[in-house]
Amino acid sequence: MQKFLIIGLGNIGPEYAHTRHNIGFDVLDAFVLKNGGFFKIDRLAEVAEVKWKGKVFCCVKPTTFMNLSGKAFKYWMDKEKVEIENTLTIVDDLALPISKIRLRASGSDAGHNGLKDIQLTLGTDAYPKLRFGIGNDFKKGQQVEFVLGKWKLEERKIIDLKIEKCVEVIESFASIGLSRTMTIANAMEIK
């Protein structure tokens, strides 16, 4: 049975729940819920195992805080014996508009502290990432408040739809592969 490691990045604690920076957690929650799984506290993370179409997904929400995401990533990748190309990291991205997602096989951390720590821990940037566009609608000097802020009411419809699309991307990644899924995901305009 083919195994995948899906990592949703975010920060633990109720003050961070459903913020832009925690979209990785929200996408993973939706994927696990859709597939009848549930999270339990385990080493360095909340973890859920779900099965879908003959595949096993180890779903991980690190409890190490964003800046130390690499520790949980490496631990679970090694423990579950998952090849790096069968991992998918879901992360917020300021550089992408709210209507877009971007799937890549590799690429820089683009200033994201969670990705920076994973790259440092793994010693490579060559691991698949699903970037969830959060836009950059903030005033100069307000980036932290924006990223750690909640979605605006008028954004919720798009965000909920994008979360659904990201769940489909995870399934597609596992069934038809990264390259074909990139073609589909990167062309999406979610409105």
112 as an active site residue: the answer is no
**Dihedrals φ, ψ of 174, to 5°?**
-80, -25
Q: What are the b/e assignments for 90-127, b being 16+ CB within 10 Å?
A: bbbbbebebebbbbbeeeebeebebbbbbbebbeebeb
- Which pair of structure tokens corresponds to residue 7? 């990592």
User: Tokens 């969670």 — which residue?
Assistant: 114
Q: Which residue is catalytic, options 20, 21, 112, 129?
A: 21
Please state, in angstroms and as integers, the Cα–Cα distance from residue 65 to each residue in 44, 79, 124, 152, 183, following that order. 10, 20, 21, 24, 32
User: Tokens 């999270």 — which residue?
Assistant: 39
Gap between the Cα atoms of 87 and 90, Å rounded: 10
Strands, sheet with 101-104, edge to edge from the N-terminal-most edge strand: 40-42, 45-52, 55-62, 2-8, 87-93, 129-133, 101-104
Instruction: Kindly list the catalytic residues.
Output: 21
